[in-house]
Amino acid sequence: MAAPRKTLKLGAKGKSVTWLQERLKELGYRPGKADGRYGGTTLAAVWAFQKVNGIKPTSTIADRTWDALETPKTPKVLAANGKPTRAEVDLTKQIMVLYVRGEVKLITHVSSGSNVPYCETADWQGKTQRFCGSASTPTGNYRTTWRASGWHKSYLGELYNPIFFNGGIAFHGALSVPLYPASHGCVRLPMNVAQELPKLLGKGVPVHVRGKFKRV
């Protein structure tokens, strides 16, 4: 499949962007509608693709990314003996891969716990309380438990369509999903991914969290 090879920057429009979006979707990423507009939703999918393919994530689509789109790598399997349907979170690369019946169903950019200790004051359960923690997303093997639809208020903020898998730690949509770990411990997802994930990720599904993010 021959890539268009036109250098694209955020905000670009046209057929080359549509090709990019269609190709990313074909490979399991979620760039949003193939509308020929290179915005934030497509950017998050580009980041995920670049990270899987060993390219430093950037908003600019140039030769290395076009090359990889023609001959893409598949995500590294983190749980070699995992169930055919499972979610894998790679903290090193800040990506999540959902496998359904042994096939890659979805690959997305994420932002996990910042590992920066925090203390927050919040109005919770009728009174002002102070909450402190380590802001970490622990590695290990878990299973999805309860979930909520739409915006769910927690004592540390608002979570969109949260799917919990380790106590109070959940996959959830967020308006900010930067290129570095920034959450209190949850796994932040782009909003379009959080809209789709509840249909794909059921209750009691294994979640494997591996790796460690290295700040440059």
Catalytic machinery residues: 172, 186
Beta partners for 128?
A: 123
One-letter amino acid of 42? T
Beta partners for 153?
A: 158
The residues, ordered by sequence, that sit 6+ positions from 126 with a Cβ below 8 Å of its Cβ are none
CB 173, CB 159: distance < 8 Å: yes
What are the φ/ψ torsions at residue 50 (nearest 5 degrees)? Answer: -60, -40
Strands (E), 38-139: 86-90, 95-100, 103-109, 118-124, 127-133
Any idea what the Cα angle at residue 152 is, between residues 146 and 157, rounded to 5°? 120
The DSSP output letter for 97 is: E
